[in-house]
């Protein structure tokens, strides 16, 4: 397997970062929806702690992925794509990256604003970026929730676009992310 990206495909590193992040996002979204319904209990605290740990992990993975993209580039969009389709694809990808930064950062800030520090899987406590602030906590929670919903919309568009490329355009866009590029 090729580790780095090439002009026509993604390497193992980018592929792994993509799919691990994708799995964690689905897990985080599901956990985020269910944990807010839990009664005050040890299970609720465990769910929130797991959500914070996974969110911090996604933040680290996204920063690694952005660095990897910068160093390796990414395959070009297919030549047959129209101007509007290219614009939408670029906007959706940029939106996903922005939201994958905004969501964990707003969650991390929210933890500080609620005086509930994040602890990464019990290994270490992440320093609060801000102090307790009830008013700011409400704003940050709203940002976190709205950004999460926007991410789900962007991801739905991303998946629909990939399926469109595979079944309608019949190009290699989906295939190049399903399996990493061989040497």
**Digits of tens for pLDDT over the chain (183 positions)?**
899 998 889 999 999 999 999 999 999 999 999 999 999 999 999 999 999 999 999 999 999 999 999 999 999 999 889 999 999 999 999 999 999 999 999 999 999 999 999 999 999 999 999 999 999 999 999 999 999 999 999 999 999 999 999 999 999 899 988 888 776
User: Would you call 63 helix, strand, or coil by DSSP?
Assistant: helix
pTM of the model: 0.94
Q: How far is CA 76 from CA 5, 7, 176, 181, in A?
A: 11, 7, 11, 14
DSSP 116: -
Secondary structure letter of residue 167 according to DSSP: I
Quote the pLDDT of residue 180: 83
The CA radius of gyration of the chain, in Å to the nearest whole number, is 18
């Amino acid at each position: 397997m090729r580790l780095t990206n090439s002009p026509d495909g993604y390497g193992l590193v980018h592929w792994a970062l993509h799919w691990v992040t994708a799995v964690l996002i689905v897990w985080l979204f599901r956990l985020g929806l269910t944990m807010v319904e839990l009664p005050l209990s040890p299970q609720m605290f465990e769910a929130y702690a797991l959500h914070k740990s996974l969110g911090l992990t996604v933040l680290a993975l996204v920063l690694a992925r952005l660095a990897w993209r910068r160093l390796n580039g990414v395959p070009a969009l297919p030549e047959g794509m129209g101007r509007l389709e290219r614009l939408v694809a670029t906007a959706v990808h940029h939106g996903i990256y922005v939201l994958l930064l905004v969501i964990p950062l707003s969650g991390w800030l929210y933890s500080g604003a609620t005086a509930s520090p994040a602890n990464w899987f019990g290994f270490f406590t992440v320093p609060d970026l801000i102090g307790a602030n009830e008013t700011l906590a409400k704003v940050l929670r709203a940002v976190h929730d709205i950004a999460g919903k926007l991410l789900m919309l962007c991801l739905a568009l991303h998946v629909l676009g990939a399926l469109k490329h595979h079944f309608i355009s019949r190009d290699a866009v989906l295939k190049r992310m399903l399996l990493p590029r061989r040497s």
